[in-house]
Every structure is written in structure tokens, then in C-alpha cells.
Structure 1
Amino acid sequence: MKTTNLALTLALVSPFPALAASHCPDQYPDGIVPVIAASAAWNNLIELCAPHGGFVDGYSPALRVPLYAVEHLTREHVVEHQRNHAGRTDSFRPDDRLPHDQRAELSDYKRSGYDRGHMAPDADSWDTESEYDTFVLSNMVPQAPDNNRELHAHIEGAVRHLAKQEGELYVYTGPIFQGNTQYLHRRVAVPSGIFKLVYDPRQQAASAYLENNVNGPQGQVYKVITPEQLTALTGVDFLPGIKTRPLDLPAPMDSGSFGNSEHRHHHGFF
């Protein structure tokens, strides 16, 4: 595994779409970045572009987690991963482009009871370099193990399946913060939920999965919401100026085949 020093691109993201500029615009549909609501968590949001082009994180130095990861996920990337991937190689590490007071450290997660949950998944990578990029902690949130390793992993697989069918998708993944937010070591914010918004440019359609970030049965149920509902939850318009209709999202499966789901599609758990 390549372990060269990766120079992630940092830039302040403006809350106004006319002023917003990205250093990796190809990861967004038509280069359009999300419109950020005025809230403390979004102040001084930093854009972190993956060096090999796989994704971009909109990172909060106040919460020390990404508030979203955006991927331009293509059929070619999924096929390349399936063809060439021999097994995951973990390389979790702090983001050395951020100072200590703005970044998560490995020690923050140690014995916390939470996984280091990828927002841009390593399984969406297509080679060793793009996989290595995903393991930086600025692409992670504290995630309940049951949710991360089961339902959330199956949702990721369902989205890859859809990308193979459709050719390309834009995928936004991030945390939901509701109620009193807890922190690991008073530093790293623990989300109450996880979202994954999927935009299909061919169909001009979008919908989002919404999950509880908990262990046990409630971590294995999800619901599908609209982009507008996601904006109401997060204060962020992820697709500003883009008109969409509802996207029929595939059900997450417990295996590599896409048939009957064992997960419950529940419409009122939040």
C-alpha cells in the first residue's frame, strides 16, 4: 500500500452559491457545491479534496467530522474495484493537513465503542491510491458498530449496484445531529443519524436513505426521504438549483445478491 504524504486541498466554502468555488468541482453535479445554512457547525467549513479524485469532504473543524462527503460514483469505478480488489487494507490516520485542534486523532476513537465510519466508502475506490485516500479521519464519523458493519454497509452496496445500472451517480453521505450532541473526549462529535443522498443525473432524480446511528434493532432500520426533507434536517441544500423527482432507491441487502431485503424499511423512526 502506498503511504506517501497526501496533500489534500483545503479551501473555505462560501455559504452563498454565487461565491462558492471548489478545487475539485468534478465531484459535484455541474460543479455546484452545497448551499450552507448559517449555523455554528458550518462556520469555516473546509473543503478537503481527495488527491486522486475519488471524493470531497465538507469538513467541520468545530465538530472534527465531515458534514458531508460527495462522490461522483461511476460504473467504471465500481467495476474496477470488483475486478482488481483483493481485500481491504486499513490505513486509518489523522489528516495531517489540519492542525491538531481542528482534526480527529486515532486516540479519540480508541476504546470509545464507536467505529471509524467512512463517509466516502473505501469500497467505492478503484485502486490502492484511491482506497488509501478514504482512510483519513477527516472522512470519518463515530459510527455505531452494528449500524456501520450491517445496514450501512448494505446501503453502500445497494448504491454501488445502482451506479452499475445507471452509469453514474452523485452520492452525498454525512451525519445528522439531533438532540444533545455527545463528543468523544470532548473533541469529536457523535452523530445521531447518518444520511446518504443519491442523485441520478440521467433520471434527474434524487432521494436519501436515513439511518439511526445506534446499535441494536434501531440501527437496522431506515427510511427514504426527499432532498427537501434532508435540507430541513441538516440546514443544507445539497442540490441547489437542480430540479429533481423522487429516485427509486434499491433496498439494502444482506448479501451480494439483490433480492428480498431483511432490513426493515421504516417510515417514522426519527
Structure 2
Amino acid sequence: MSRKKMGRGIGKSSSRKKTGGAGPARFLKSVLAAALTSFGIATAWLHPQGLNWQSVEPWLQSLGLPGYTAQDHVPVPASVDGYVQTSFAHCPQFFPGARPVVPMAYTQRELCFSSFAILHSGQTKTPVFVAQRLNRQHIQAAKGIKRTDRFYAEARLPRAERAELNDYRGSGYSRGHMAPAGDMASEQGMAQSFSLANMVPQNQIHNAGPWNKIEADTRQYVSRAAGQVYVFTGPVFERNARTIGANQVAVPSHLFKLVYDATTGRAWVHWQANQASTRAGPPISYPEFVRRTGLHLLPDLSLKGAE
């Protein structure tokens, strides 16, 4: 029922017509929403494994309050036993099978783009991971796309959960792409790759040096592969990680790039310290990556005990 209709209905049976009888109801809804949100934040901070944020948000939406409308809702994963089962229902094409299972954390949201998908963390203001599906035709098409360099804040994320352009200015860190601009095979994909949701604060020398080589080597591998290659890229954080900017964007200690060839069944992970002194080295195995991070980005492979 709209506020206008509610006011007229009350006015017919009482003297509240002049004072607006819907006011107390709206006030009560606001108080309840604020109380639940405050309780939820406190609970998530103290016991993050015990709160399912997916069950809270539909209740907030039902109140019809600003900021909790269904049409503006960005999907959040469902939690089970301290882990989150992602769904990515609107962009399943970026995953080779079962969706990733990751440790539960507050304000993780799924974002779909034309050429990649992101699980975003509102705590770190960075991706948890970025997923891509590549093949030789895609890499060939990407060679003809002009780089744009138009960075922008991701408007689909609440302001409290996202990085802003000013956070990186003067920080001494690069806005490091997780899904590289050089992988983009369309103008739309190129433009979307400059969303700050796709960025982490990255050491400038590392970004331009060994990390750039890993990205180029991955494209070279894909261009020779027989079929689809799935790539997952993301940051790793230490406790009490350094932050930049007013929004406290977390600086990762390491970056990873997981490459999975769906034709051969082989998987390997580039593991790099986010430092100027880092050099390109041999990749680590997928089981070792899972052990270090708790991220089951290839659940089907994890169940098989792949090496």
C-alpha cells in the first residue's frame, strides 16, 4: 500500500488525517531496520560464521525503505558452515562447472560484467576473485581493442563498500587490474574492466614488471590452447592489512592468478608477493593454493583431489 493511500484510509476513521497517521508506522520501520542492521554488523564482526546476510536483506527490502529495493539488490552468496556457496546466476558462462566456494565474510557481493565476473568484498573494497573464460578467438579479437584508461567507481555497490577514485590518488599504488584490460575482446568489456571493483592497490614496479609478464604469458598460453581456459585472479591479505584512502581500501600482500585448461584438465596458480622486489617464479599447485587461501575456486577439481 502506498503512503498516499495509507494516509487517506486513516483519515476516514480518525482525526489523524491532519497529522499524517502513516508517520509512526514509517518511524517504526526505520527504527526496526536500523536496529537489525546494527545488530547484524556487530554480530558479523564478532562471529562472521554465524550470520547469513542473504536472509537479512530480503526482510529489509520488504520494508520498502530507501537503499533496500529489490531492483537495486546486488546478489550476495548463501553461507553454510562458515563457507559461502556463490551462484553467479546471471553469468554462469565464466565458470567451468560448480561455482566457487569461499570462506564467509561480511558484504560479499556478486557482480556480472560482459567479459568477466567478480565476487566483491565490502570489507577490503576489492575483489575476492575475478573470473574469466578465454579462448584463442577471444585473445585474437582483444588485439584490436584500444585501451581506454577511464577508471570509475562501481555504482552498483553501496558507497560504504566500494573504492572511489580519490582513494588511489597520491597513494603510491597502481590501480591494478585483476581482469586485465589486455584480455578484453570488445569495447564494452574494455570500458568495464576499468571499474574500481576490478582493481586492487598494486605495487607499481610489480604491476608493470613480473605481473604484466604473467598476464602476457597467460594470453600466449590461451592463444595456443585447444579449447576454453578459465582464469581466476585476486588478492590475498594479511591480518591488519595496510589501507589507502578515506574508504580504507586494503592493500594485498600477495596476488594470485589461477589458470585452468578445461580441455586438458590441468590447473596451476601464479603466486606473487605485491612488492617491487618480486620476480617471476614457478607456479604452485591448485591444492597448495586452496591450503593457503581457503578459496575453492574449482570445486569440481577440489573434490577430485587434483594436483
**Fold-level similarity (TM above 0.5):** yes
CA distance in 1, matches of 2:285, 2:72: 31
Q: Which moved more, 1:222-231 or 1:194-203?
A: 222-231
CA distance in 2, matches of 1:101, 1:75: 39
The runs of 5 or more residues in structure 1 that have no matched partner are 1-6, 247-270
Q: Shift of the alpha carbon at 1:176?
A: 1.2
Deviations 1:103-154 (A, max 9, x none): 0000000000000000001111112111001000000000000111111111
| % identical equivalent positions | 33
Contact 1:175 1:193 in 2 (8 A): yes
Matches for 1:1-270 after TM superposition, within 5 Å: 10-16=74-80, 20-22=86-88, 23-30=90-97, 32-38=98-104, 42-50=105-113, 52=114, 54-82=115-143, 84-85=144-145, 87-166=146-225, 167-185=227-245, 187-215=248-276, 218-242=277-301, 243=304, 245-246=306-307
More helix by share: 2
CA distance in 2, matches of 1:160, 1:74: 9
Q: Which moved more, 1:16-25 or 1:56-65?
A: 16-25
More strand by share: 1
TM normalised by structure 2 equals 0.70
Contact 1:172 1:198 in 2 (8 A): yes
CA distance in 1, matches of 2:291, 2:228: 26
CA distance in 2, matches of 1:94, 1:157: 26
In structure 2, relative to structure 1, the CA distance for the partners of 1:60 and 1:239 (3 Å cut) is same
Q: Shift of the alpha carbon at 1:219?
A: 2.2
SS in 2 for 1:219: coil
CA distance in 2, matches of 1:93, 1:120: 15
CA distance in 2, matches of 1:9, 1:99: 10
In structure 2, relative to structure 1, the CA distance for the partners of 1:11 and 1:157 (3 Å cut) is same
SS in 2 for 1:236: coil
CA distance in 2, matches of 1:76, 1:176: 31
CA distance in 2, matches of 1:13, 1:237: 14
Question: Which one has the largest radius of gyration?
Answer: 2
The runs of 5 or more residues in structure 2 that have no matched partner are 1-70
Q: Shift of the alpha carbon at 1:227?
A: 1.4
Q: RMSD of the alignment, in Å?
A: 2.1
Q: Counterpart of 1:144 in structure 2: which amino acid?
A: N
Q: Counterpart of 1:111 in structure 2: which amino acid?
A: G
In structure 2, relative to structure 1, the CA distance for the partners of 1:178 and 1:75 (3 Å cut) is same
CA distance in 2, matches of 1:225, 1:34: 19
SS in 2 for 1:225: coil
CA distance in 1, matches of 2:73, 2:130: 14
CA distance in 1, matches of 2:292, 2:84: 23
Flag the structure with more relative contact order, 1 or 2, with Cα contacts below 8 A and sequence separation at least 6: 1
Contact 2:272 2:278 in 1 (8 A): yes
CA distance in 2, matches of 1:196, 1:104: 22
In structure 2, relative to structure 1, the CA distance for the partners of 1:163 and 1:180 (3 Å cut) is same
Contact 1:118 1:140 in 2 (8 A): yes
CA distance in 1, matches of 2:305, 2:180: 25
SS in 2 for 1:63: coil
Contact 2:107 2:161 in 1 (8 A): no
Q: How many residues align?
A: 230
In structure 2, relative to structure 1, the CA distance for the partners of 1:78 and 1:205 (3 Å cut) is same
